[in-house]
Structure 1
Amino acid sequence: MADDDGGKFKVRNKKKITERDLKKMAPQQRSKYMAYEDPPKEIVENQINAAKRLIEQKKQYQKDNAPPSDEQIVEREKHEKLIGQLKAAEARNRLRIMRLRYQSSRAQEIGHLIACQPTALKAVRLQALVPSYPNEKDRGDSLEKLDRERIEALLEDNKGLLINRIN
């Protein structure tokens, strides 16, 4: 059976069945029969519309995913570099804050330990041996003249008359 489609052979059902007989058929039998029938006009129109939408979507996808221009690449690299610098600055700031928090809590603990010493001599020795803050620079003599004299007097007191605390 030649058809109007350029002489191609098209498979069709040999006998026509009425709508009533088609409804009486089992679903499997009906689907086999309908496989060789032309689809209704609505279905053909919907198939054509779907094909058109697919072509339009493909064109839009190709348009959206076109390779970026050199200018866009340069701008993207600048943006990524700036983002990297900002993240690095945030990380440095977090580290600085953590370091300051640690140093502060350490200084408080050492100050508490010094205050809890039973004698002033032990407190002064502990303060001299365990500084509250690490010496990053040579700060020189942090004691004033009167404080220096008081500490020397405490260190020279062999009998412990100046350093015994009252409980």
Structure 2
Amino acid sequence: MSNKKLPPVKNGDEEGLRFTNRKKISPAELKKLAPQQRSRYLAYEEPSKEVTDARQASMKRLIDQKKQYEKQFVPLSNEEEEERDKHAKLIGQLKAAEARNRLRIMRLRYQANRAQEISHLIACQPVALKAVRLQALVPPYFEMKDKGDNLDKFDRKRVEDLLEDAKGLITNRTS
């Protein structure tokens, strides 16, 4: 067999134009070809009877499966559709709640790790004064709450009296 490649020839067919090989190869020569060359040659040959039968059988099975699936599919009533929508909404709410919980846990874990690290830095200060300064500047726990007013009525009255005492009569104690 020569190394010269011949392009396939167009032949009329019931499927339209069909390419075929110009040179016919005997089965012995076909076995001698490399697998890639053999597949190129066989791509332009008519498939064997077994291949054609298998292709038709598989197409028939696919068509039968499609018909069977269409028979099984029954349109849902309005009640079933509403129930399905409610179920999907509930699933969505549960997933959202789980995501919020995961975020909350991650946030708490981060805050605990941060507080532990800052406490360790404060504890490692060589001088107590430096530790107190660091603790005042960088508190271990981030306080986001509004502290508000922690005074009760008696303490509030006492503070107001002290603030109104311009002459210092309440605080000056001379003996």
User: Normalising by structure 2, what TM-score?
Assistant: 0.46
Whichever structure has more strand as a proportion of its residues is: 2
Higher RCO by CA contacts (8 Å cutoff, separation 6 or greater): 1
Larger radius of gyration: 1
User: Normalising by structure 1, what TM-score?
Assistant: 0.48
